[in-house]
Every structure is written in C-alpha cells, then in structure tokens.
Structure 1
Amino acid sequence: KASGGIEKTIVRKDIPAGEYEISEIPVSRYRLERITGVVSGSVSGSKVILDTDGQDAKATFVNRRESYQDYSDNDLVMNTFSK
C-alpha cells in the first residue's frame, strides 16, 4: 500500500448460514488497533459476531506494529467454523 502498510484479504464462500464469532490471536510486535467495515454483524471488544443467514457478512481487522526490532514476519491464518 502507498502508506507503507500491508493488506491481506481472505474471502470464504459457501459458509453455512449462522452466527460466527471472529477474533485474532495476539502476536508479538502487533496489536489490534480497530475493527472496521462490519457488514451484517457487530463488534464486541476485540471480536466480531457475524450473521451469514442469507446475506454477505464481513469485517476488517486493522493491526498496528508496536515494535520494529529484529525484523521478522508474523503470519498465520487459521479459519475454523463450527456450530
């Protein structure tokens, strides 16, 4: 991105209708700054509750790097869906 940030998008399709809780696992050097762009859901602290019952649902998690020492990479995407 022009701002020097990194953007990553994950799209899941054909998820069974229902309510899902989404959160991030804290990692070193980064902290959750805000959750934006919530469609068909609500924010509760550091998590989002999305309702996919016959509609699209989405949320954007914005993180901020807090420490720059020892440049390295933190990247993990784990999606688990259950009822």
Structure 2
Amino acid sequence: MKVLYFAWLRERTGTAEEQIELPEAVKTGMDLMLWLKQRDEGYDYAFEDPDLIRIAADQEHVEADADITQAREVAFFPPMTGG
C-alpha cells in the first residue's frame, strides 16, 4: 500500500510517501494511524492527535473507522481551510 503524508504530517514523519506492507491487524484508517505511531518519535508526534487528521483511501475522503484493507493508497492530511 502507498501511504502519503501532507503538510505538517510530512514534516513530522520526514517523508512524503512510502510503500508499506499492511499488517494483518490493521483494518481501518485509525488502526493504521495507531500502528504508524509506534514506528518512531516522528510518527508518534505526527499522529499524536488522530482526531485532527483527515484520511483519504484511493483519493476518496473516508472516516477513521472505514475499512482500508482493499485500498491501494491511503493519504493523511491536516484539516483544510477555505477562503
């Protein structure tokens, strides 16, 4: 699965994108965030407040509890503001 990070998530994780093997226990966007938090301090900092983070699976916005097991791409980004 390709995982993309935008804005301050990219800065905190130190990467814009990566390929991962989705662990069997990871089923939802929230599961993925919690799994990523365990990788190192940067990921822990990036995902310290999961309620602020928006998720897209295959370029469609999804809720944190949505099943992502069939997604080819998951993107994480902060809330967007309009103007």
Question: More strand per residue: 1 or 2?
Answer: 1
The higher relative CO (CA closer than 8 Å, separation ≥ 6) is in 2
Q: TM-score scaled by structure 1?
A: 0.33
Q: TM-score scaled by structure 2?
A: 0.33
